[in-house]
């Protein structure tokens, strides 16, 4: 018997619901809004792993003292184009938005803005911050670091995080930047949660169980595997050095050596095309390159896709038809809503 279709909800309604749950769970009102926007951005692009299914954990992190829901982000170091911020365990969206704004400001002054923000919490789908910078006319690179979540190639246990990397650039269409967003893992850890919520198995090659064996059962996952073996762990290690060791907050060292829950760090880089003599030509040049790639003859049974193109198309469909929410996610959100006294939207009731 076929499983019933997932419930669908309008993006604006889901964003209000998410914000209400977060605020009732202890987030400052503005922090709840920024976090809800980040989560629903991911859901709109089909990235359920980084969408509203994260809300119960975020509220739990407030209760555990892992998230400071009213933190203020402040500058603690920097010179010239470089800026270092301390987020004081602010919600990830708040910290990364502050770093994005500062990187843009530094790029306007210096041609490049390199901003590292220390002591953040889960940043979500980092493409949202890269897109924000690209929409302002700058090229963007965003990375984050956190505790060990991924098997280090050649080892039996977690040794590095899944450090995501996003790059975004403006195109001739100001509303459609090109966005590349990836994890150094074979799969984002949140996709394991999404599979569990949807009641489906995961492919081999994604993760291992507590015995170090590959598993297809999301409930048995202990750690995810790296993308492309040593390439994934090598890239992750270097991001940890740039995001953490360079600013005196070495997350992986603290976790592996001292058993400390280290929190997270983020890097946001903005590049002003005018500093490279290409202010006018750059967006058109990106679109010309995109057109040349799209003109390539597709392989049998495949289509030639550009970075972010699948997500852009999914966003348009979900804005028109609503965002599907898996039964497991809807149930967990409803349980949290009942606990916090938040009204569940009719579409998810």
How many domains does the chain divide into?
A: 2
Average pLDDT estimate for 198-207: 92
The pLDDT, as a whole number, for residue 197 is 83
The pLDDT, as a whole number, for residue 40 is 98
- For residue 189, pLDDT beyond 90: no
Average pLDDT estimate for 127-145: 98
Instruction: Of 314, 337, 307, 331, give the one whose Cα is nearest residue 11.
Output: 314
Asked if residue 302 and residue 319 are part of one domain, the reply reads no
pLDDT band at 117 (very low <50, low <70, confident <90, very high): very high
The pLDDT, as a whole number, for residue 3 is 57
Average pLDDT estimate for 130-150: 97
- For residue 2, pLDDT beyond 60: no
Crossing angle of helices 29-44 and 127-135, in 10° steps, is: 90
The pLDDT, as a whole number, for residue 266 is 98
The pLDDT, as a whole number, for residue 1 is 43
Asked if residue 288 and residue 265 are part of one domain, the reply reads yes
Asked if residue 159 and residue 286 are part of one domain, the reply reads yes
Average pLDDT estimate for 273-293: 95
Average pLDDT estimate for 272-294: 95
Per-residue pLDDT tens digits for 157-176: 999 999 999 999 999 999 99
- For residue 309, pLDDT beyond 70: yes
The C-alpha angle with vertex 140 and arms to 135 and 146, in degrees rounded to 5, equals 120
Asked if residue 105 and residue 177 are part of one domain, the reply reads yes
- For residue 278, pLDDT beyond 90: no
What is the distance between the alpha carbons of residues 309 and 178, in angstroms, rounded to a whole number? Answer: 8
Percent of the chain with pLDDT over 90: 89
In a domain, 279, yes or no: yes
- For residue 279, pLDDT beyond 90: no
Asked if residue 44 and residue 156 are part of one domain, the reply reads no
- For residue 188, pLDDT beyond 90: no
Asked if residue 132 and residue 275 are part of one domain, the reply reads yes
In a domain, 208, yes or no: no
pLDDT band at 109 (very low <50, low <70, confident <90, very high): very high
In a domain, 274, yes or no: yes
The pLDDT, as a whole number, for residue 114 is 98
SS (H, E, C) the chain: CCCCCCEEECHHHHHHHHHHHHHHCCCCHHHHHHHHHHHHHHHHCCCHHHCHHHHHHHHHHHHCCCCCCCCCCEEEEEECCEEEEEEEEECHHHHHHHHHHHHHHHHHHHCEEEEEEEEECCCCCCHHHHHHHHHCCCEEEEEEECCCCEECCCCCCEEECCCCEEEEECCCCCCCCEEEEECCECCCHHHHHHHHHHCCCCCCCCEECCCCCECCCHHHCCEECECCCHHHHHHHHHHHHHHCHHHCCCHHHHHHHHCCCCCEEEEEEEECHHHHCCCCHHHHHHHHHHHHHHCCCCCCCCCCCCCCHHHHHHHHHHHHHCEEECHHHHHHHHHHHHHHCCCCCHHHC
Q: What is the CATH number of the domain that holds 236?
A: 3.30.1370.60
Asked if residue 141 and residue 256 are part of one domain, the reply reads yes
Q: Which domain holds residue 127?
A: 80-185+226-306
Give first-to-last CA distance, the chain, whole Å.
Answer: 23
Asked if residue 264 and residue 274 are part of one domain, the reply reads yes
Mean pLDDT (the chain) is: 95
Asked if residue 165 and residue 27 are part of one domain, the reply reads no
């Amino acid at each position: 018997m076929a499983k019933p279709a997932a419930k669908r909800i309008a993006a604006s309604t889901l964003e209000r619901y998410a914000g209400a749950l977060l605020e009732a769970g202890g987030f400052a009102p503005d922090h709840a809004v920024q976090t809800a926007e980040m989560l629903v951005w991911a859901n709109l692009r089909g990235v359920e792993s980084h969408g509203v299914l994260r809300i119960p954990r975020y509220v739990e992190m407030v209760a555990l003292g892992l998230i400071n829901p009213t933190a203020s982000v402040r500058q603690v170091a920097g010179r010239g184009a470089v800026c270092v911020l301390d987020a004081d365990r602010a919600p990830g969206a708040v910290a990364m938005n502050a770093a994005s704004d500062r990187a843009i400001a530094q790029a306007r002054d210096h041609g490049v803005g390199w901003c590292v923000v220390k002591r953040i919490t889960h940043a979500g789908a980092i493409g949202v911050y890269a897109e924000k910078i690209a929409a302002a006319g700058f090229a963007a690179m965003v990375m984050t670091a956190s505790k060990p979540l991924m098997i280090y190639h050649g080892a039996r246990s977690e040794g590095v995080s899944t450090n995501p990397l996003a790059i975004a650039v403006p195109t001739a269409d100001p509303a459609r930047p090109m966005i590349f967003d990836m994890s150094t893992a074979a799969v984002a850890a949140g996709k394991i949660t999404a599979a569990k919520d949807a009641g489906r198995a995961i492919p081999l090659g994604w993760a291992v169980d507590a015995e170090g064996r590959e598993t297809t059962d999301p409930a048995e996952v202990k750690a995810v595997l790296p993308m492309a073996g040593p390439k994934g762990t090598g890239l992750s290690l270097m991001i940890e050095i740039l995001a953490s060791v360079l600013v005196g907050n070495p997350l992986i060292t603290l976790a592996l050596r001292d058993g400390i829950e280290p929190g997270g760090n983020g890097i946001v880089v903005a590049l002003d095309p005018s500093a490279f003599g290409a202010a006018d030509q750059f967006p058109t040049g990106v679109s010309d390159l995109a057109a040349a790639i799209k003109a390539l003859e597709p392989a049998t049974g495949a289509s030639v896709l550009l970075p972010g193109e699948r997500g852009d198309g999914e966003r348009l469909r979900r804005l028109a038809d609503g965002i599907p929410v898996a039964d497991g996610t809807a149930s967990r959100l409803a349980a949290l809503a009942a606990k916090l006294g938040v009204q569940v939207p009719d579409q998810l009731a």
